[in-house]
Structure 1
Amino acid sequence: MSTTEDKAVRARWPVTLFGIALAVIGLVLTGGGAWLLVLGGSWYYLLAGLALLVAGVLYLQRRPAAVWVFALTALGTLAWAYWEVGASFWPLVPRLAPFLALGFVAALVQPRLSQSRSVAGAYGLAAVLAVGIAAGFGGMLSEHGVIEAKAAPQKVQDAAARPLADWTHYGYNAAGTRFVPTEQINKENVDALQVAWTYRTGEIAEGASEFQNTPSQIGDTVYVCTPLNKLVALDADSGAERWKFDPQVTDRKTWNRCRGVGYYEPAAVSQPFAFAEDAARQAVAATDEADATVAPAEAAGSPAAQACARRIVMTTIDARLLQIDADTGKLCEAFGKGGAVDLTTGLGKVDYDGVLWYYLTSAPTVVRNMIILGGWTFDGRSVDEPSGVIRAYSADTGELIWAWDMGQPEITKLPPEGGQYSRATPNVWSTPAFDEELGLIYLPTGNQQPDFWGGNRPETTEKHSSAVVALDIATGRERWTFQTVHHDIWDYDVASQPALYDIPDGKGGTLPALVQLTKRGQIFLLDRRDGKPLAEVVEKPVPQDVAEGDWVAKTQPYSTGMPALGTEPLTERDMWGATFFDQLACRIAFRKLNYQGEFTAPSLKPTLIYPGYYGGFNWGSAAVDEDRGYLFLNDIRIPQVVTLIPHSEIDESKLVAGHGVGSTYPMHGTPFVIDHAAFNSPLGIPCNAPPWGVFAAVDLQSRQLVWQRPAGTLEDVRLHGLNFHLPLPVGMPTLGGGVATASGLVFYAGTQDYYLRALDIESGKELWKGRLPVGGQASPMTYVSPKSGKQYVVIAAGGARQSPDRGDYVVAYTLPGTAQ
C-alpha cells in the first residue's frame, strides 16, 4: 500500500467508526421505538432511531448529507425535549446529553468527511459543544427543582416562654413535635460544630439489623438502644459508658430495630391514675384467672422500689416489656415478673417455624403512669397473623390496665379463658402521640394483613385500617377515627407519628391541631378534639378494577387544603435513565404496567404503586418549629411493582418470602401470593425522574409549601458495587426525621450520603454538614447538658438503607469551647 493510500485509510477510520456507532444506536432506538409505539407510547424514538440509522449509513458512505441528517435529528430532539419537559434540568439530561456527546464527536470527524476543508469551523463547533458538556456537568453539581422561600416567617410563639426539658419521648415530647427550645447553636455559629465524642456500641447493624435509634437524654445521661435491644447509658458530656444492659435477645433474622426507649419516674407523675392503688390485688387476680405475667407491686419504700426511682422502659424484638433502673442498668425486679412482662399473652400463635410474626420496634409511649404499646406484625404472611391489639400497662407494676381490640371491642383486658385477641387486625407499629389536657392518645394504624388483598376483611376492622384513631387514655375506648385510605390494599399504612400543635385560629386564639403525614404524600390537618379536618379533605373517585374476590372503595380522601409532596401521577414523560437507552427501556416498561394512578389495585398484571409503600412520608415523621409554625418534611419518591400470582401457579417452597422489594409475600388464606420488584432501569437506576426525595417546609398557618430542596447527593451511593464519589444533588430517598430548635435550625441525617446536616428552616439552605463514618437513617436529637451547659446534637449512624457500609456509631457534635 502506498503512503498516499495509507494516509487515506487513516483519514477514513474515525468517520467509519462514527458511522457504525450511529447506525447501531439508530437500530436500537428504531427497534425499541417501534415496540414503544405498539404499546401506545411516543413516536420520537422510532423517528430518531431511523434518522440516526440513515445518518450512520451516510457517514459510512462519506456523504456530506450525513451531517445535515444528524444536525436535523439533534435539533428535532431539542424541540421534542423542551415540548415534553420544558427546562427541567434532570429530565433533560438523558434526552440531550447523548446528542451533546455525539455532536462533539461529529464535529471532530467533520474535517475527515469527504475531505472537508472546514477544519477551523468544525473544531470551533467541537469547542463550543465541549463547553456545553462541561456546563452540563457543572449543572449536575447544582440543585435543581428548588422552590425558594418568598418571605421570612413571623414568629407565632416564643420558645423562651417554655422551659427546656429532657428528651424523654421518641419525638422529644409526647406531642411528637421534635422541637427543642434552645438557641445556643444558631445560624451564626453552627458552621463551627465539631465532633464532641463518638461511642461505638460493639453491635454492627448488619443483616436484618438497622440502627434507627433516636437516643433519650435524662439529666446528664444519654440512653441508646441497639437493634438487638442492648441498652447503654452514656455520660452526656463525654460519651463515656456508665453501664450496659443486655436482655439476651436472639437475632430474629427478619426485622431487628429499636427506634427508642421510654422513661418513667414515679415521683414525677403529677396525675397518676387510681388503678395504681390496688395494683397488687388486680395483678394477683389476673395471674390466677388468665396466666398473666405480672407480680404484685413492691411496697412503697422497699429496697426494690427505691432502686428503681428512675426507670428506662424498653420493648424487645422477642416481645417483652422491660424496666431497667436508669441509674444502675439493672432490671426493676418489682415490675412484672423479675422486671419483664410477656407481650405474647393473649395473642395466640406468634411463632412460625422459629420466626416471630410479632415484633416491638418503635419506642414505647409512656404517659402519666401508663405504658401504651402497639406492635409490628410480619407483612403479607397470612390472614391468620397475630393481633394488632393496643394495650396499656401500669408503669408501676406491669399490670395490664386496658386493651383495645378493634375486632372484639367488648374485650377490655385479657381475652376470655381459651380465647385470643382478634387475629390480623390493623396494628400500630409506629409511635402514638398524647394530649395531656384532652386525655387522648392518637394512634397511627397500619393496614390489615395481608396487605395487598382484602376480600375477606371484616367490617369491624375496616374503618380503623390506615387511620388515625383517638383513644381515651383512661379507658382505652375509641373517641374518634379518621381514615386516610379506605380498604387499603396498597400497604399505605400510616407510618408517621402524629404531631400535635396549636395553630392560630385568626381570631387571636388557637385551635388544637393534629398533623398526620402519610405514605401517599398527603398531609392531613385535623382537630384533635374530634378528628374533623381543619384543612379541606375531598373524597375523589378512584379506579374500580380489582383482582377477583376483592373490592375497592369508590372514593379516597385527598387533603386538598394542604400541600401534597410527590403525588403527581406518573406518565411516560416522567420516565428517566442515565442514557436514552435506559430511558427508552423505562418507557417501554411503564407502558406495559397496570397503572391508573396511586389507587391502581394490584392485579395479575404487574402493577405500579406510586408514591409507593415506602412513602411519601415514613416513620421518620415531621418536625414542627413551634415558634414559626413551620412543618419540616422529608420524603421518598420511589415506586414499586407488584404482581398477584395465583397460589396454584407457583412453587411456594421456592418463595423468597422476605420483606419489601425483591421478595414474595405468601398471603396464606387468600387466592394469591404477591411478588415485589423495584421499578428500575437496566442500569439499576429508578425509572422515574429525580428528585427521589426532598426536604421541604410547610407553613401551618397559611397552609402553603414554603420551600423545597433535593435531599442529599450521590456521593456515597454505589451502583453495581462501584462508587464514583460524585456529589450530585439529585435528591435521594430519605429515612429518619429531623429535629428543630428555637434558633431556626433543623438537623437531619437520613440521606444516602454520610452527613449530618443543619438547615435553615426559613429557607431550607444548608448551613453546615458534618461527615459521618457511615450513613445514618435514624432521627437525630439535641439536648443541653445540665452539667456543662453545652448543647449537643447526637445521631446514631449504623449505615444508610441501601449502603453496604455498616457501623455501630453514636456521634455527638457541639460548639468548641465552654458553654455561653
Structure 2
Amino acid sequence: MPSNNFRNAPLVVGGVMYISNQIGLVEARDPGSGKILWRQAGFPGDGRLTPAAASRALALWGKGAGARIVTIRGNFLYLLDARTGEIVEDFGDKGRVDLREAPRTLFSWNAPAPIVVGDVIVVGGQPIAIGTADINKASLAGNVRGFDVRTGKLLWTFHTVPQEGEPGADTWDNESWRQGGKTKVWSAFSADEKLGLVYLPLSAPANDYYGVARPGDNLYSDSLVALEARTGKKIWHFQTVHHDLWDYDLPSPPMLADIMVNGRKRQAAIQVTKMAYVFAFDRATGEPLFPIVETPVPATTMPGEKASPTQPIPVKPKPFDRQGMDADQLIDFTPALRAEAVRILGRYVHGGMYTPPSPAGGPDGKLGTLYMPGWVGGANWTGAALDPETGIAYIPSVSVPWIGRDNYRRPPESSLYMEGPQGLPMVKPPYGRITAIDMNSGDHLWMVPNGDGPRDHPLLKDLKLPPLGQAGRAAPLLTKSFLFVGEGDKVGLSIPKLSGGNMFRAYDKKTGKVVWEADLGAGTTSPPISYMYRGKQYIVVGVGGVDHPAELVAMRVD
C-alpha cells in the first residue's frame, strides 16, 4: 500500500497544479477543485507498477506549448509534456534516462527534488550496490549530475567523495575515499540563475555514526557546495561538520536572499542545520557573513575512532535550539519525574555539543552517548522560511535527545530515540518551537512553542502547564501577512513518541502570537504552499497519519 507519509509540495503554474502522487507518478489537477486533469502513464515495457515514494517536489522547464515537467521515479529521469502528461520521446531513451551508474546497482532516489538551472537538470541521490548485505558498503557515493534538459545527455558529474588526484581526496585518510559512500543530496537543491550556480546540501558519509573506516575530515560530506550549473565546476564549499559521527548532514537547501550585514547589501545563502546552527555565506563567493570559529570539542572514547578535535561554530546567530545534554536540561514537572530522568541520564555518557558516540557495555558500564540535538534535529528536511523584504528567518525545530553508540556491531541500533520517565520526553519543553532571527544582524527576535505538546499525559493533565510544543516535523509557509505552520505527524520518519498533532496555525510574523488555527484531521506531512487562482488565494498542504490515508487539504482565503 502507498505510504501515508506524503511529502510532496505541489507545483502550481499557469493555472494547473502538478504533484508526484504516492506511487511516484505525476498528476495534473485543477487547483480550484482538485480534480485530476491527467496522470502520468507507465512506461512502455515496464511491468506492474508498485508503490514508490513520492518525490518531495517536481521541476518545470519552459513555457506554453514547450513547458516540460521533470520527474524521477525508480531508476529513471523522465521528461513530460506539461499540457498532456505524455512522455517527450526525444528525451533520453524514448523519454527517459537511466540513472544507474554501473551494473548491479539501483538508483536510490530517496525522494529529493530535481532542479532545472538554465537548460540543465541537476540530480542528486545515490546508487546502491545489489546483493551487499552491509548497507554501509552498499551505499555508494552520491555523485551529483547535470543533464541536458532537451536531450537527456549527461553533461557533467561532480564527485561528492573526491577521487584520486582530485581536491579533497586527502581528507579521506588511508585512501578511504576508495570505499567512501553516501555523501549525497537527499533533500533538495536551490539555485541562483543569474549567477548560474546550484547549491548542494550534502549528507553524512557512511557509516553515519562510526568513522573508523573513514579517517579524516571526509570532504564533501556535511558540506554546502556551490557548483557552476552549466559545467559542474566547483566554485566554493564549506564543511559544516568534520568527520561526522552524529548524522548531522545538511537537511534542506539553503535559502537565497539579499540581506544587509554591517550596512552592506549581501547576496546570501542561509543554511539551517540539524545542530541548530545557522550558517550564512555570500552565495557568489562562499565568504561567511558572520564569523565562524574552529572550536575544540569533546574527544572520542570509541576504540580506533579519530574524531575531529574541532568543529566550525558560527559566532552569530546563536543556536536556535538547545545543544548538549546535562542535568539542567531534564524534565522537572514533578520531583518524581526529575528524579527518574536523573537516573536515566546517569546510564549514558553525556556532555556538551559534539560529544561523540561511545561503546555500549564498555568498562564504564554506560549504554552509549545521549546527545542533543539528535539526528532528527534541530531543523530537518522541512527547512525554514525567510522574508525577502525584512531578512527575517523563521525556523521550526525540535528538542529531541538520541542515543549514539557502537552501531558497527549493532546496525539496527545506530541511533535511538531516548524516551524519558513514564514515556514522557527526557528534557524540558518546548519540544517543538519556532524561532525568528533577523539575518541582517544575526539577532534572535522571538521564540514560541509550536503546539500544546503532551499535556494530556496522565501525569501532566492536572498540572497548569503552558504549551509544550510538538516534536513533529513541521514545514513553514511564509506569506506577506502570516507564518503558517502545522505540527507534523507520527507517520513521519523517526518522529518521537507523543509527537505530532492535527492543528494548522497562522502566526503573527512580528510577535509569534497565534492568530488563527484549524484542525485538519491529521498531522501535516508536506510543506504547505500558497497560490492565486481565479482571484482567490489558496493554501494547500499534505496530511496523513498512521491510520489516516494521505490527503491534500485545500483552504481558501476569503
What TM-score do you get using the length of structure 1 for normalisation?
Answer: 0.60
- 2:407 aligned with 1:607: no
Cα 1:797/1:719, change in 2 over 3 Å: farther
Cα 1:591/1:437, change in 2 over 3 Å: same
The residue type equivalent to 2:468 in the other structure is: V
Post-superposition offset of 1:349: 4.2
Post-superposition offset of 1:732: 1.3
State the distance in 2 between where 1:510 and 1:372 align: 29
2:72 maps to 315
User: Contact 2:162–2:220 (CA<8 Å) still a contact in 1?
Assistant: no
User: Contact 2:126–2:141 (CA<8 Å) still a contact in 1?
Assistant: no
Post-superposition offset of 1:773: 2.3
- Find 1:542's aligned residue among 272, 297, 300: 297
1:340 maps to 96
Q: For 1:649-660, list aligned pairs within 5 A.
A: none
State the distance in 2 between where 1:547 and 1:680 align: 24
Post-superposition offset of 1:205: 3.0
Q: For 1:360-371, list aligned pairs within 5 A.
A: 360-371=110-121
1:283 maps to none
Q: For 1:352-751, list aligned pairs within 5 A.
A: 358-375=108-125, 381-408=135-162, 424-457=181-214, 462-507=218-263, 510-576=265-331, 579-605=334-360, 606-644=368-406, 647=409, 665=411, 674-714=413-453, 729-742=467-480, 744-751=481-488
The residue type equivalent to 2:151 in the other structure is: T
The residue type equivalent to 2:554 in the other structure is: A
State the distance in 2 between where 1:634 and 1:746 align: 11
What RMSD in Å do the two structures reach over aligned CA positions? Answer: 3.0
Deviations along 1:183-210, one digit per CA (max 9) or x if unpaired, are xxxxxxxxxxxxxxxxxxxx7634xxx2
Give the SS at the match of 2:195. coil
Unaligned runs of 5+ in 1: 1-202, 269-305, 413-419, 648-663, 667-673
1:794 maps to 540
2:45 maps to none
Deviations along 1:630-688, one digit per CA (max 9) or x if unpaired, are 101100111111321664xxxxxxxxxxxxxxxx526xxxxxxx543321124221111
The residue type equivalent to 1:758 in the other structure is: A
Give the SS at the match of 1:573. helix
The residue type equivalent to 1:575 in the other structure is: L
State the distance in 2 between where 1:259 and 1:665 align: 27
1:773 maps to 521
- 2:502 aligned with 1:754: yes
Post-superposition offset of 1:613: 0.3
State the distance in 2 between where 1:492 and 1:458 align: 17
Cα 1:546/1:530, change in 2 over 3 Å: farther
Post-superposition offset of 1:393: 0.9
Give the SS at the match of 1:540. strand
Post-superposition offset of 1:601: 1.4
The residue type equivalent to 1:638 in the other structure is: V
State the distance in 1 between where 2:239 and 2:528 align: 30
Post-superposition offset of 1:373: 0.8
Deviations along 1:538-573, one digit per CA (max 9) or x if unpaired, are 111111123122201111111112121223432213
Deviations along 1:742-764, one digit per CA (max 9) or x if unpaired, are 2x311222442212211111111
User: Contact 2:161–2:181 (CA<8 Å) still a contact in 1?
Assistant: no
State the distance in 2 between where 1:319 and 1:638 align: 34
Report the number of matched residues: 520
Give the SS at the match of 1:807. strand
Post-superposition offset of 1:367: 1.4
Higher deviation after alignment, 532-541 or 378-387: 378-387
Cα 1:769/1:421, change in 2 over 3 Å: farther
Post-superposition offset of 1:340: 1.7
What TM-score do you get using the length of structure 2 for normalisation?
Answer: 0.86
Post-superposition offset of 1:624: 0.8
User: Contact 2:144–2:158 (CA<8 Å) still a contact in 1?
Assistant: yes
State the distance in 2 between where 1:735 and 1:548 align: 35
Cα 1:582/1:227, change in 2 over 3 Å: farther
2:13 maps to 218
1:76 maps to none
User: Contact 2:210–2:408 (CA<8 Å) still a contact in 1?
Assistant: no
The residue type equivalent to 2:531 in the other structure is: Y
The residue type equivalent to 1:692 in the other structure is: Y
User: Contact 1:384–1:423 (CA<8 Å) still a contact in 2?
Assistant: no
Deviations along 1:366-385, one digit per CA (max 9) or x if unpaired, are 11111111116789822342
Cα 1:807/1:457, change in 2 over 3 Å: same
1:272 maps to none
State the distance in 1 between where 2:537 and 2:431 align: 33
Question: Which is greater in Rg?
Answer: 1
Post-superposition offset of 1:397: 1.4
Deviations along 1:191-239, one digit per CA (max 9) or x if unpaired, are xxxxxxxxxxxx7634xxx211111001111112223213221112222
The residue type equivalent to 1:795 in the other structure is: V
Post-superposition offset of 1:324: 2.0
- Higher helix share goes to which structure? 1
Post-superposition offset of 1:703: 1.4
Post-superposition offset of 1:704: 0.7
Deviations along 1:693-748, one digit per CA (max 9) or x if unpaired, are 1012111112111111001123898999xx99x99621111324212122x31122
Give the SS at the match of 1:603. coil
The residue type equivalent to 2:253 in the other structure is: Q
Deviations along 1:244-276, one digit per CA (max 9) or x if unpaired, are 225465336xxx3421111111x58xxxxxxxx
Deviations along 1:89-134, one digit per CA (max 9) or x if unpaired, are xxxxxxxxxxxxxxxxxxxxxxxxxxxxxxxxxxxxxxxxxxxxxx
Post-superposition offset of 1:425: 4.3
User: Contact 2:186–2:203 (CA<8 Å) still a contact in 1?
Assistant: yes
Cα 1:645/1:569, change in 2 over 3 Å: closer
Cα 1:488/1:423, change in 2 over 3 Å: closer
User: Contact 2:123–2:146 (CA<8 Å) still a contact in 1?
Assistant: yes
Cα 1:408/1:525, change in 2 over 3 Å: closer
User: Contact 2:455–2:468 (CA<8 Å) still a contact in 1?
Assistant: no
The residue type equivalent to 2:405 in the other structure is: T
- 2:512 aligned with 1:764: yes
Identity of aligned residues (%): 29
The residue type equivalent to 1:440 in the other structure is: L
Higher relative contact order (CA closer than 8 Å, sequence separation 6+) = 1
Cα 1:336/1:595, change in 2 over 3 Å: same
- 2:24 aligned with 1:229: yes
Cα 1:384/1:232, change in 2 over 3 Å: closer
Cα 1:366/1:729, change in 2 over 3 Å: same
